[in-house]
Chains A and B, each alone.
Chain A
Amino acid sequence: MADPVLSVTGLSRSFGALKATDEVTLDLRPGEIHALIGPNGAGKSTLINLISGALSPDAGSVHLGGMDVTRLGVSARARLGLGRTYQISSLFPEFSALRNVMLAVQARQGSSFRFFLPVMADASLRDPALSLLDRVGLAARAHVIAAELSHGERRQLELAMALALSPRLLLLDEPMAGMGPEGSKAMTALLAQLGHALPILLVEHDMDAVFALADRISVLVYGRIIATGSVEEIRRDPEVRRAYLGDAA
């Protein structure tokens, strides 16, 4: 089996007496979608923040492509190829969708101290940005101001911006949150398309999406991973049914 692109080993973090993350170990293999599910308050947000570098752990380690990044911050991990989207859309509201992605492409190219050439005439920004918008299905909305996009479109735009940084993996924090059934379906299709070119760690509440997309699922309850396995294994796991799926299954 190929080496994992992301591996998390024995990760722990407490807030006072609360063990928000308790010796979590999981990995993300090339080409897979690995879903992380769990009831509210299970510690998913803390785990995401530990992986992205917004929080530092009390114990344990995070490796990106075999490199120990436990001590690095958000922007350093971003430069090493950890792309992410946010639970609440985080965009440049006054820019058009196209300019949002162009700014991310610009950041990727590492060239913000250019003062004269207008960005809109700069094919090295515009072309990749347009093709990314096309890839997430937003090409027709390229010139709409981000603030005026629908909720679902903003999530698509977030995804395009994350992709603009040419990540080695994606960390998606509830990409379906707040979307109607149509939007969820479209996003699921989009992720299915991306997923096998780019490994994705997917945190999601929408079980239909998770079961449709995931190659493997890990279940987080009270900060601990209680099970990891294929969709079928997780569906059948009695402990998972008791602790989490409950009457929903």
Chain B
Amino acid sequence: MITRERLVEITLVLLLAAVPIAAQLLNEPFYLTLATRVAILGLAAVGLNIALGLGGLVSFGHAAFFGVGGYVAGVLAIHAFNGTPMLLGLPGTKLMPFIWIVAILVSGLVALGIGALTLRTSGVYFIMITLAFAQMIYYFAISWPAYGGEDGLSFYVRNGFPGVDTLKPLPFLLICYALLALGLILFQVLRKSRFGAALQGARQNEVRVAATGISPYRIRLVAFVIWAMITGVAGALYADLNRFVSPAMLSWHMSGELIVLIVLGGVGRRFGPVVGAGLYVLLEYWLGGITERWQLFLGLMLLGVVLFARGGLIGLLAGKPRHG
């Protein structure tokens, strides 16, 4: 039997697939950029959905990983462009697959350090400390002049992918779609795995998990690192979309936006991040076209969702989640 949630998901996939066709027919290439933004923000939110949706980890510092991924893309591209070696004499690269791997490694390592310290705490402490760590990296990016400091870092040519012309919007959009699909599959696989069971168990009843002999700390640390890796890849794509990285990608507003996305869509729902990203980008585009003050209305809407419609849009459309 097809559940309502499955119906919403199918509709969404069809909508996303329809965007490039509509862009072609209406001769509106900007739609492709919008869809690319949805895919990239959606991918970042998928990472968050693992930590927040499955693990219940409320953080306010994940922009750190988004920005680290972005800076990896930017720094590698600049060094490849200028032909200058980087740290330890390694060369830069303009190949996306390499950039993604480096982004995964670097953001994973940063997350391992931050997570090892912050996951010793919980609740409000965890929120404040993750925020503080992200802010530390933010200030570091601002005050370190080698890569643009406060002004950020521009690179003029989008990084490449073997056999694909990434400079055209459509192929780049398809790359982002593919990575989003991979992210969604990974989320689903993790959710159903032993690891996912332990992670969700730790959210529902931490004491009970500990009493059965599973360490919630280690489970959460691994979830934190996986989350950062996915977010790092999304950050690298985001840098490539804009051909620009700046400390703004590391700022706490970015962390806030990503949480907002996922809550608009539906926390813990498989497609929640994508629905939320779509909604957010549309709001930004439409409301932003009508009024400069669109963030005021976003704020009011968000208040409404938090106070009165806690399941997000998927919750409204598809009802309560099914467990089992």
Contact = CB atoms under 8 A, between A and B. Distances in A.
B194 A74 contact: no
A143 B324 contact: yes
Given A102-B197, A106-B198, 10 more contacts: A79-B213, A92-B201, A95-B324, A103-B197, A107-B213, A111-B194, A113-B194, A115-B190, A115-B193, A117-B193
Nearest to B222: A113
Contact of B213 (A95, A108, A115): A108
Interface in A62-109: 74-75, 78-79, 84, 90-96, 99, 102-104, 106-108
B324 A118 contact: no
Contacts of A90: 205, 207-208, 211
Contacts of A115: 189-190, 193-195
A74 B211 contact: yes
Interface string B210-236: 111110000100100000000000000
A95 B322 CA distance: 10
Interface of A: 74-75, 78-79, 84, 90-96, 99, 102-104, 106-108, 110-120, 122, 125, 143, 145, 161, 165
B197 A106 contact: yes
**Looking at chain B, what size class is its interface with the partner chain?**
20 to 34
A116 B324 contact: no
A110 B213 CA distance: 8
B207 to A, nearest CB: 7
Nearest to A112: B198
Given A99-B197, A107-B214, A145 B324 contact: yes
20 contacts: A75-B211, A90-B208, A91-B205, A92-B204, A93-B205, A95-B204, A95-B324, A99-B324, A102-B197, A106-B197, A106-B214, A107-B213, A107-B214, A112-B214, A114-B194, A115-B193, A118-B192, A120-B192, A145-B324, A165-B213
Given A103-B198, A116-B189, A119-B192, A96 B212 contact: no
B59 interface: no
A116 B323 CA distance: 19
Contacts, number: 94
Contacts of B210: 74-75
A59 to B, nearest CB: 26
Contacts of A84: 211
Contacts of A143: 324
A120 B324 CA distance: 9
B200 interface: yes
Nearest to A109: B194
Given A96-B323, A110-B213, A118 B204 contact: no
B193 A116 contact: yes
Contact of A94 (B196, B211, B219, B323): B323
A131 to B, nearest CB: 18
A122 B323 CA distance: 18
Task: Output the residue of B197, B201, B222 with the most chain A CB within 10 A.
Answer: B197
B194 A96 contact: no
A96 B324 CA distance: 5
B37 to A, nearest CB: 29
A111 B208 CA distance: 17
Nearest to A104: B212
A125 B67 CA distance: 40
A119 B197 contact: yes
A187 B323 CA distance: 28
A78 B194 contact: no
A119 B197 CA distance: 8
A108 B209 CA distance: 11
B212 A78 contact: yes
